[in-house]
């Protein structure tokens, strides 16, 4: 008995401009017919691109359809909306020269975790003159008696670590006194791992704290949630539960306070886990040692690793800052 095999491929390219931006899809249908014992399958790839005036948004839908004689199998993958995460280059313990070098390669967002160090670096005359568009993020624990000092930092762009109502009120008042025309962007830090050594709100207080900021802190602009998370999570055991908790807190928050999800950023991911963080939806990664090399702390034996070349490290990262 001879087997007759017959097959065809259809490729259809469709482009639609519906006035609200571009939409296009490709349909690939591969048809295989095997002498009455037929098998048929098709792949649909739809790429949707939308420009809502506030930036670009796109998603990919891949549907693979397999039909096998009534015992069909069907599955699909829906791509996450593509976001371009912001890269915050964490320059703590590193000299002004390294900040300027990274700036000269196009980096604009930088992070520090000590108020005094941030104030000194951001006020450095070389940085002030060579980096006019620099955006500083404060990512360390903020004590109330340091709020005024932080608010005095030149080019302060975002405070990522608001972790109590009282701190929010204090920052709001201090920013108001400064009389800036723009609100200060802030994130609420959540202690998702529950470790005593980590700062941040208990997860259960997130919604009330954000509600308070929205209603009572007119000088602050709430832009997202931040977590540090536990270190060294083993990915073979599944996604990092700290990241998952931040994602579900955002859902709860948006649900209860009626906020659009794309208005609430997630700051998560550092040198060791930023790829994973981006895969699950981070919009802001904070990366230090991968860019600037290991940090030397006074009480730690100095490492024998050669400092990294900043330009190469920035280019190796798959994220861009914005």
Ligand X SMILES: *Cc1c(COP(=O)(O)O)cnc(C)c1O
* Segment interacting with ligand X, rule: CB under 6 A, options 128-136, 164-172, 281-289, 297-305: 281-289
270 sits near ligand X (criterion: CB under 6 A)? yes
Cβ nearer to ligand X, comparing 127 with 139: 139
Which one of the spans 211-219, 276-284, 288-296, 303-311 is the region binding ligand X (CB under 6 A)?
Answer: 288-296
Helix and strand numbers (H, E) in the chain are: 10, 13
Among 99, 115, 134, 139, binds ligand X (CB under 6 A): 139
Nearer to ligand X, 102 or 219 (CB): 102
Binding residues among 78-107 for ligand X as defined by CB under 6 A: 90, 92
Question: Phi and psi (nearest 5°) for 108?
Answer: -120, -30
- Chosen residue from 147, 287, 310, 317 binding ligand X by CB under 6 A: 287
CA–CA separation, 78 and 320 (whole Å)? 24
Asked if residue 159 binds ligand X (CB under 6 A), the reply is: no
Task: Kindly report the backbone phi and psi dihedral angles of residue 91, in degrees, each rounded to the nearest multiple of 5, phi listed first.
Answer: -100, 15
Q: Which residue is nearest to ligand X (CB)?
A: 288
Contact code string over 204-223 relative to ligand X, x by CB under 6 A: --------------------
Total chain residues near ligand X (CB under 6 A): 13
Of 52-60, 142-150, 174-182, 283-291, which segment contacts ligand X by CB under 6 A?
283-291
81 DSSP assignment? P
139 vs 219, beta carbon nearer ligand X: 139
Spatial separation of the C-alpha atoms in residues 136 and 133, rounded to whole Å: 10
Q: Taking a C-beta distance cutoff of 8 angstroms, is the pair 208, 189 a contact?
A: no
Question: Considering beta carbons, is residue 4 or 306 the nearer one to ligand X?
Answer: 306
Nearer to ligand X, 206 or 289 (CB): 289
Q: Which is nearer to ligand X, 249 or 317 (CB)?
A: 317
Task: Give the Cα separation of 156 and 158 in Å (integer).
Answer: 6
> 171 near 160, Cβ under 8 Å?
no
At 295 the three-state DSSP class reads: coil
Assess 188 for contact with ligand X (CB under 6 A): no
- Compute the distance between CA of residue 174 and CA of residue 156 in angstroms, rounded to an integer: 13
Strands (E) located in the chain: 5-17, 22-34, 39-51, 56-67, 73-78, 86-90, 109-112, 135-138, 156-162, 184-189, 220-226, 265-267, 284-287
Closest contact distance (angstroms) between CB of 271 and ligand X is 3
- Per CB under 6 A, residues contacting ligand X are 90, 92, 113, 139-140, 228, 270-271, 286-290
């Amino acid at each position: 008995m001879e087997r007759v095999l017959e097959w065809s491929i259809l490729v259809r390219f469709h482009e639609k401009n519906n006035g609200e931006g571009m939409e296009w899809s490709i349909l690939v249908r591969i048809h295989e017919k095997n002498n009455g014992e037929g098998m048929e399958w098709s792949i649909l790839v739809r790429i949707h691109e939308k420009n809502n005036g506030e930036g670009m948004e796109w998603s990919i839908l891949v549907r693979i359809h397999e039909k096998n004689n009534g015992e069909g199998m069907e599955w699909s993958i829906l791509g996450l909306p593509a976001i371009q995460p912001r890269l915050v280059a964490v320059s703590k313990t590193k000299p002004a020269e390294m900040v300027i070098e990274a700036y000269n390669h196009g980096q604009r967002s930088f992070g520090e975790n000590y108020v005094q160090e941030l104030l000194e670096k951001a006020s450095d005359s070389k940085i002030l003159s060579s980096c006019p568009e620099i955006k500083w993020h404060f990512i360390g624990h903020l004590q109330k008696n340091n709020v005024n000092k932080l608010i005095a930092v030149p080019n302060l762009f975002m405070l990522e670590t608001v972790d109590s109502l009282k701190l929010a009120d204090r920052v709001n008042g201090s920013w108001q006194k400064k009389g800036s025309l723009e609100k200060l962007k802030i994130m609420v830090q959540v202690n998702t791992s529950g470790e005593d050594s980590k700062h941040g709100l208990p997860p259960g207080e997130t919604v009330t704290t954000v509600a308070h900021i929205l209603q009572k802190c007119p000088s602050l602009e709430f832009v997202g949630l931040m977590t540090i998370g536990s270190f060294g999570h083993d990915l073979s055991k599944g996604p990092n539960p700290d990241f998952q908790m931040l994602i579900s807190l955002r859902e709860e928050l948006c649900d209860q306070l009626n906020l659009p999800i794309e208005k609430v950023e997630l700051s998560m991911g550092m040198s060791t886990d930023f790829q994973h963080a981006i895969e699950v939806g981070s919009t802001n990664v904070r990366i230090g040692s991968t860019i600037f090399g290991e940090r030397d702390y006074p009480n730690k034996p100095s490492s024998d690793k050669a400092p990294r070349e900043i330009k190469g490290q920035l280019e190796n990262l798959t994220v861009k800052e914005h």
